[in-house]
Amino acid sequence: MVLVYQVLSGLYSFMESINEIDELVKIISRLPGLGPKSAKRIILKLINNRDELMKPMTKVLGEVYKNISRCNLCGSLRSNDNCKNCSFSSKKSKKICVVENIADQWSIENSNIFDGYFHILGGTVNSSGQRKEDLLINALVARVKKDNIEEVIIATSATVEGQTTAYYIQESLKEIGVKISKLAQGLPIGGEIESLDDGTLFSAFKNRTGLNSESD
């Protein structure tokens, strides 16, 4: 065990003397949940699998950088100018689920509990200095009017910032006459959508409460 540690430590020290590796360690370490040690392990894996991992990853990352962007209308990710979330589909219900970020959208999609459209705000009021003008609330109002949306489900997190944002959304939509609801209080205080399990999400959606009328 000591010998392995010494070998790895020596290799890491050698890796850090290579400028390209050192820069890559810095970049990977900025990803969520990863530090320098984890970054070095990932780099070793890539180097040892150049054709199977590194080459295709480089190609795909280049395509993602070139083609993938955030939709200005709904806040979701789109490929070139094609946003599947914005596009009309007869298979989707005429409901919009409003979430803070794309990770929340993915969590709800993976649970298969919602069959409507999503609207990604891009954060919350007062988070990182963001104001309500910085979020896609005006775009949400425009979508509701244009697409004749029947219900807006507010799925912001149960934090002070999340609830403040929910209030601004409700105020922005109150003159339209659309049904507005929010996730049930089974959502733990301070809880973030992306960290919830499918069972909790299902219960929160099923038992959501109406803010201006009864919800189905």
> With 90 as the cut, is the pLDDT of residue 16 above it?
no
CA dist 135 and 129 (Å) reads 11
Amino acid 110 reads N
- Residue 208, classified by CB atoms within 10 Å of its CB into exposed (0-12), middle (13-18) or buried (19+), is buried
**pLDDT one-digit tens code per residue, 175-206:** 898 999 988 755 555 556 776 677 777 666 77
Amino acid 45 reads K
Q: How many CA atoms lie within 13 A of 95 on its CB side?
A: 20
CA dist 138 and 116 (Å) reads 19
- With cut-offs at 50, 70 and 90, classify the pLDDT of residue 103: very high
Write down the number of H helices and E strands in the chain: 8, 7
Count of Cβ atoms closer than 10 Å to residue 152 Cβ:
28
> With 50 as the cut, is the pLDDT of residue 124 above it?
yes
The dihedral region occupied by 75, where left means phi > 0, alpha psi between -120 and 50, and beta the remainder, is: left
Please give the mean pLDDT across all residues of the chain: 83
> With 60 as the cut, is the pLDDT of residue 138 above it?
yes
CA dist 53 and 58 (Å) reads 8
**Domains along the chain?**
2-68 (no CATH), 77-210 (3.40.1360.10)
Give me 141's structure tokens: 């109002």
DSSP assigned state of 50 = I
